[in-house]
Amino acid sequence: DTGVSQDPRHKITKRGQNVTFRCDPISEHNRLYWYRQTLGQGPEFLTYFQNEAQLEKSRLLSDRFSAERPKGSFSTLEIQRTEQGDSAMYLCASSLGGGALRETQYFGPGTRLLVL
């Protein structure tokens, strides 16, 4: 069990470009979450997957944002036509699911995005 991994760890892009981030959850974890965090704030929920199904999506996730989790394993988060306001840390978390302590969320190290 190597924990939740995210790739890349850092990304610098120019405004208007598309970027894609990847998250590999802990194996056998059914639930996967994406968050965005800006300096001095707690993480903001973006979206949630139960296996391959995207069950909840924040209104923060505009039509420029899309997330997938094909086959219920790794997940990708794509941002199209990036804006400077998209600069943030993007965090992924996973949990086993099934109630009680199985709902504990384990976080990856995050991908720091800077849009110039």
Residues engaged in binding another protein (CB under 8 A): 4, 31, 33, 35, 40-45, 48, 50, 55-56, 58, 91, 93, 100-101, 103-110, 112
- Cα(53)–Cα(58) distance, rounded to whole angstroms? 15
Is the CB of 34 or the CB of 86 nearer to another protein? 34
| Beta-sheet pairing, 31-37 with 19-24 | unpaired
**HEC string of 63-90?**
CCEEEECHHHCCEEEEECCCCHHHCEEE
Q: What's the min distance (Å) between Cβ of 76 and another protein?
A: 18
Q: What's the min distance (Å) between Cβ of 4 and another protein?
A: 8
Q: What's the min distance (Å) between Cβ of 16 and another protein?
A: 27
Cα 96 → chain centroid:
17
Is the CB of 36 or the CB of 79 nearer to another protein? 36
Nearest to 33 by CA among 53, 20, 47: 47
Q: What's the min distance (Å) between Cβ of 7 and another protein?
A: 13
